[in-house]
Structure 1
Amino acid sequence: MKSLRTITILFITLISLSYASNINSQKTGEVDVNCLQQIRNGFIPNSQPMKALLTGSEVAEFRTTLFEGNTYRIATCSPTNKKIWFSVYDTNKNLLFSSTQQQHSSSWDFKMEGNMECIIEAGLMPGGDDSGLALVLIGFKTSDVSL
């Protein structure tokens, strides 16, 4: 009888933990779909979305290499619909783009004139929740250059 009681308590505990984790988890699959909707009109999404769980004024830093002749779109989103600011730098920390200087745009389109390693910094806009998931996705399309 004692083992049946132990099994019942264990079962209820596992069910409770499973339910609690589902309530608090963020649905990152939906975030990917929402961000993918921002990468349209001929852009091919990079298969490596950049994700960071941020708290307060933390800043995520991502590195990527961009190639000459491609047109790129950087898009940002969050599962809690928080606004995300982002900036793009070269490896010498020269600012190439800042969404804060563009009415907090959630995306940016640009064409590369040469190959370059870039640093993308992203953070949550102040206000509201103190933490959240920031997602940065890059899409590209090649120019129609005949060889």
Structure 2
Amino acid sequence: MNFKYIVLLFSILFGISSISKAQSDITLENCTKHLGTEFISDGQQYKALLSGGEVAEFHTTFYSNNHYRITSATGKDEGNVIFSIYDQENHLIFSNRDHKNSPYWDFKFENTMNCTIEAKLNQKNISSGFVLLMIGFKQ
């Protein structure tokens, strides 16, 4: 293989990696800003790379009498992630679709509950992208 092609290949791969990292950094910054100072992250980042009508599914436990905030982001534009929370019997508890795709929402759970969070992209605005959800709780 010619040396020029090897250099070109590495340059392309490095460029894609840099763009991907920048997208990831902006998305993390947007999620973190919505946690604010009131909420502390649970220490996890719920990530997915979605395209078309794909849906990411995350599982978590919410503990009784705690206040939570779920934040979502994909890139620098807000309102492009639709997330829904379901209980163990797959009953819808909440969807931000009903609230203009708000990038965050606050909850208080009266009982400890295992939940599934589904996330997808708003197909009207974006067809693919890196999606990040974060969950914070009040001290």
Give the TM interval when normalised to the shorter protein: 0.7 to 0.9
Q: How does 1:105-116 map to 2 (within 5 A)?
A: 105-116=102-113
- 1:134 paired with 2:128, answer no
**Please, which of 83, 94, 115 is the counterpart of residue 86 of structure 1?**
83
Q: Structure 1 pair 97/16, CA: closer, same or farther in 2 (3 Å)?
A: closer
RMSD over aligned Cα atoms: 2.2
For the pair 1:47 / 2:40, whether they are aligned, the reply is no
Structure index of larger Rg: 1
When residues 12 and 111 of structure 1 are mapped into structure 2, their CA distance, relative to the original with a 3 A threshold, is: closer
Name structure 2 gaps, 5 residues minimum. Answer: none
Give 4+ residue runs of structure 1 displaced > 3 Å after superposition: 5-13
Deviation at 1:114, TM superposition (A): 1.2
Mean CA deviation greater in 132-141 or 98-107: 98-107
Matched, 1:25 2:20: yes
Query: In 2, Cα distance between the equivalents of 1:59 and 1:12?
Result: 35
TM-score (norm 2): 0.85
The gaps in structure 1 that reach 5 residues or longer are 143-147
Between the two proteins, the alignment pairs up a number of residues equal to: 137
Identity of aligned residues (%): 36
Deviation of the 1:71 alpha carbon: 0.2
